[in-house]
Structure 1
Amino acid sequence: MSALEFDIVIRNAEVIDGTGSTPYRADIGIANQKIAAIAKPNSLIAPQILNANGLVVAPGFIDVHTHDDREVLDHPAMHPKLTQGVTTVITGNCGISLAPWLADRDIPAPLNLIGQRADYRYASVADYVAAVRAAAPAVNVGILVGHSTLRLNAMSELNCVANQEEIAHMQALLAEGMQAGALGFSSGLFYQTSQAADNGEVITLAKVAAAAGGVYTSHIRDEYNGVLDALKEACDAGLAAQAPVILSHHKCAGPANWGRTVETLAYITERRAQQPLGLDAYPYTAGSTVLDPDYVDGVIRIMLSFSMPYPEMAGRDLADIAADWGVDQKEAARRLHPAGAVYFQMREDDVQRVLSYPHTMIGSDGLPHDSHPHPRLWGAFPRVLGHYCREQKLFTLAEAVHKMTGLSAQHFGLQQRGKIALNYWADLVIFDPATISDLATFSQPKQAAQGIYWVLVNGEVALNADGPTGHRNGQVLNRNSEQLSADVST
């Protein structure tokens, strides 16, 4: 191809292609939003040259576990994700999705993590897809349909198993969502909105997703003492529904369970021999969700991420708030409700063991609407590459990139994404492997990463060394024959 036939050339880069293979040096030519050439270094020309000498080019990172359902609409520039090299987000995790639901009541936890009553205004996934396309986010968006959201549509009381009429209602809504392009079905049996559901209810819905080629992602019922039983429940549901399973943010929570990832990963390996099964994790010893007094034990540190009645308390430790008020931490948690919190509930060796597991994908699980969010919202992917890869040497750089690109695309069926190859969409990140790192901290969480030079989304430069360019070229990743499949064999 001549210079006029390429829109952009990335020159003389170290190519880490997303497969885990050995890096190599090359030029990459981009035309019509796709990778049009991979050639020997310094051999391609174009009107726009990105000089990547001394830098790595990798597929754009795929954040498989987000709660960006509303963020892609309200803040489509998507700075927290773009600045860490993320080019695709998957929304609707943990049974929580913004669609389908025309809210007819106050929003219960955990759905209040992503929106209030006025935000739940999409009667169908198709309506939500249209809204995302109109917002034109800077990153690609894949959608999961949440179990709790379906239950709120079909059930007036959530503290029981759904009856057949209610299940049929949920099945119809989910079938519409799959037809509109959703990637699958998610559950969060840990949360009160879905705790009363039995596995039979989950299976009937997972079957709908599976019939359309979708996945079943599970925030399991118990990540604490009952973690093994909860893993079995999730795997059994996928097996019965013939749906590939993805275990969300795998962990062993609480001091009584520290060290048990030896058991849980062994169990996951055993089940992988029987069924398609993957998992994701974030690179921190703290998680973040709603503030629940039942999980306030006075032992682990808990930091407030937001409080509706006491917004000025965000960023403070619950223990300090309780001391100021002269009450115990459980009472303080009750007064702060509705609220969110960061729970320092894991141990470092467990986190490293899960991250090192060959089949673990990376997901941020960030909560973009928290006033004082967990730093994973801005730093998860650079933290893997900098702290855990370069400094802790848990894996090679090629292996680290695979966990956030090719492996993720395979599990979620994203065709022509997650790999540097001819005719793949030009979702690319160019970074310095010697300096890439997260700057977001628990005290200062809204800090962009360093060491990223360019991010391209569908062939357009969305971020350069000066920051976001303003180009918003993301697509909704519909389930269709050109873009999606259900290959989760890796």
Structure 2
Amino acid sequence: MADFDVVLRGGTIIDGTGAPRFDADVGIEGKRIAAIGDLSRASGRSDIDVRGRIVAPGFIDAHTHDDRYLMQSPLMPAKLSQGVTTVITGNCGISLAPWCAVPGQTVPPPLDLLGEDAEAFRYTAFGDYLDALEQAAPAVNAACLVGHTTLRVAVMDRLDRAATDAEIAAMQALLRDAMVSGACGMSTGAAYLAAMAAPTDEMARVAAALHGFGAVHASHIRDEGDRIREAIDEAVEIGKAGDAGVVISHHKLIGPKNHGRSVETLGHLAQAMRHRCVGLDCYPYQAGSTILRKDRLAVSSRVIVTRSQPHPEYAGLDLDVIAAAMGLSPEDAVDALQPAGAIYFLMDESDVRRILAFPQTMIGSDGLPHDPVPHPRLWGTFPRVLGHYSRDVGLFPLELAVHKMTGLTGRHFGLAGRGVLSEGNFADVTVFDAARIIDTATFEHPVAQATGIDCVFVNGEMAWHDGASTGVRAGTLIRRR
């Protein structure tokens, strides 16, 4: 009889802790890593030669909007093709639940980043969404945040004001129920119109429902420009109110006026980390992507439209080209295209590199899977960090790159048994070629698989091999109890 279900033989282990690499075999039994070491005398039902390859923990995407994608495309090709085995959903204050929309109702932005179909928002309770997600059996694991903006939509008749005491109490009840059901925390997104009117006090009082759950507060902060320091402090204050760890989402400095300020903001974050559990994530690009909004035009050197409900033919074109074709100013074209999404070139490469290299920065794609012409980060984030920034640019060693997308993220989000290759942990494993791995998705052709990912295991089962899905859907819903 075989000693293990799978033996990965002769690979180089980068275990996710940041420690130096070492050569060893990996034995997998069931859903767990059973042994790491010299297994030359052991046998496996499946023996895989991984000589010349890196064997790493499956990558954890710290920032996604995959809430609906997990059920709509459960094979999750955009993530598995990059080596991602776990996704964190519900970011930027936006989650698919708990809100039950009326059929035909317009999905308010930014909730429409999860899709414009109101029928997808059909979960009165967050636990109902988690149950549906579990039944969908996606190919990757998921840990789910509750969006504060979604809570506002669920309980408020208008979003252009602060919540009343009764509405805050209703949001607290929904959040507490979600945490009992297995959510991992709450996200906020005060940069968006639907939550701009929410004062710090409202968000902090809602977050108080997180007490006792060991939760996370992930924040798309109120201002990523001139008042970014104050916005970081607000996010930390909200986390403190819920006794929750804090994650500053997709940290960046927008607009030429603020380019170079990452020296200041990273110092500010380092100071905050001395007093509380504070982390941050970012994606490896100079351009961001979200809903199409006028206030981004002045700080962006280029704008690409990713979707438009009334004008789908314009997806993938520059706003300037669209405006000229319509005979409108760019500002008026924004109105004509709504509801719509866009890519904005508004960051400086030196800030991107400095934030990526910061030791406590996790990697999150922030991809938008429902955009017809998405930002290339949806398909390219993790290989771009490993291939372009680590290998080609030499921004940090491969061990640190892997740590940023595995062990560091697992620790911040409390994903027990994931993010580190060690005996007894879950067998989420990515095998890749360090010399070849690279993103191929571009702004012109954003839907393209990366190269260099050999195979990916999720909970001990091979889900991706030789550039294609195996059809196995072994992911699990990670419920925070």
Query: So what's the TM-score if we normalise by structure 1?
Result: 0.96
| Distance in 2 of aligned mates of 1:469 and 1:314 | 31
The one-character-per-residue Cα deviations of 1:132-158 (angstroms, maximum 9, x if unpaired) are 111110000110000010001110011
Taking structure 1 as reference, are residues 141 and 299 closer, same or farther at Cα in structure 2, changes over 3 Å only? closer
- Matched residue, 1:372: 373
Taking structure 1 as reference, are residues 398 and 367 closer, same or farther at Cα in structure 2, changes over 3 Å only? same
- Matched residue, 1:113: 113
- Matched residue, 1:52: 50
> Is the Cα–Cα contact under 8 Å of residues 254 and 299 in structure 2 kept in the other structure?
no
Matched, 1:62 2:60: yes
| Distance in 2 of aligned mates of 1:192 and 1:37 | 51
| Distance in 2 of aligned mates of 1:243 and 1:463 | 35
Matched, 1:19 2:10: no
The one-character-per-residue Cα deviations of 1:373-416 (angstroms, maximum 9, x if unpaired) are 00000000000000000011111100000000000000000000
- Matched residue, 1:361: 362
- Matched residue, 2:290: 289
| Distance in 1 of aligned mates of 2:405 and 2:178 | 26
- Matched residue, 1:8: 6
| Distance in 2 of aligned mates of 1:182 and 1:336 | 35
Matched, 1:83 2:84: no
Q: Which moved more, 1:295-304 or 1:254-263?
A: 295-304
Which consecutive aligned stretches of 4+ in structure 1 deviate over 6 angstroms post-superposition?
none
Structure 1 residue 274 displacement after superposition:
1.3
Structure 1 residue 235 displacement after superposition:
1.5
- Matched residue, 1:431: 432
- Matched residue, 2:272: 271
> Is the Cα–Cα contact under 8 Å of residues 12 and 41 in structure 1 kept in the other structure?
no
| Distance in 1 of aligned mates of 2:274 and 2:214 | 20
| Distance in 2 of aligned mates of 1:5 and 1:279 | 41
| Distance in 1 of aligned mates of 2:25 and 2:356 | 31
SS in 2 for 1:279: strand
- Matched residue, 2:324: 323
| Distance in 2 of aligned mates of 1:316 and 1:298 | 19
Partner AA of 1:251 in structure 2:
K
The one-character-per-residue Cα deviations of 1:244-280 (angstroms, maximum 9, x if unpaired) are 1100000001111111111111100111111110000
- Matched residue, 1:146: 147
Structure 1 residue 299 displacement after superposition:
5.2
| Distance in 2 of aligned mates of 1:202 and 1:338 | 27
- Residue identity (%): 49
1:119-134 superposed matches below 5 A: 119-134=120-135
| Distance in 1 of aligned mates of 2:19 and 2:57 | 13
Partner AA of 1:430 in structure 2:
V
Structure 1 residue 25 displacement after superposition:
0.5
Matched, 1:173 2:171: no
The one-character-per-residue Cα deviations of 1:158-208 (angstroms, maximum 9, x if unpaired) are 111111110111001001110111000000000111110111111112221
| Distance in 1 of aligned mates of 2:152 and 2:132 | 23
SS in 1 for 2:435: coil
Structure 1 residue 223 displacement after superposition:
0.7
- Matched residue, 1:453: 454
- Matched residue, 2:33: 35
Query: So what's the TM-score if we normalise by structure 2?
Result: 0.98
| Distance in 1 of aligned mates of 2:91 and 2:210 | 14
Partner AA of 1:169 in structure 2:
A
- Matched residue, 2:386: 385
- Matched residue, 1:189: 190
User: Structure 1: which 5+ runs fail to align?
Assistant: 481-490
- Matched residue, 1:203: 204
Give the count of matched residue pairs.
478
- Matched residue, 2:249: 248
| Distance in 1 of aligned mates of 2:367 and 2:177 | 27
| Distance in 2 of aligned mates of 1:42 and 1:304 | 54
> Is the Cα–Cα contact under 8 Å of residues 298 and 329 in structure 1 kept in the other structure?
no
| Distance in 2 of aligned mates of 1:342 and 1:299 | 9
| Distance in 2 of aligned mates of 1:466 and 1:392 | 25
| Distance in 2 of aligned mates of 1:209 and 1:74 | 29
| Distance in 1 of aligned mates of 2:258 and 2:43 | 56
Q: Which moved more, 1:322-331 or 1:350-359?
A: 322-331
1:91-110 superposed matches below 5 A: 91-104=89-102, 105-110=105-110
> Is the Cα–Cα contact under 8 Å of residues 189 and 219 in structure 1 kept in the other structure?
yes
> Is the Cα–Cα contact under 8 Å of residues 283 and 380 in structure 1 kept in the other structure?
yes
Structure 1 residue 41 displacement after superposition:
5.9
> Is the Cα–Cα contact under 8 Å of residues 64 and 366 in structure 2 kept in the other structure?
yes
> Is the Cα–Cα contact under 8 Å of residues 3 and 43 in structure 2 kept in the other structure?
no
> Is the Cα–Cα contact under 8 Å of residues 178 and 212 in structure 1 kept in the other structure?
yes
RMSD: 1.1
Taking structure 1 as reference, are residues 117 and 306 closer, same or farther at Cα in structure 2, changes over 3 Å only? same
SS in 1 for 2:92: helix
| Distance in 2 of aligned mates of 1:44 and 1:93 | 44
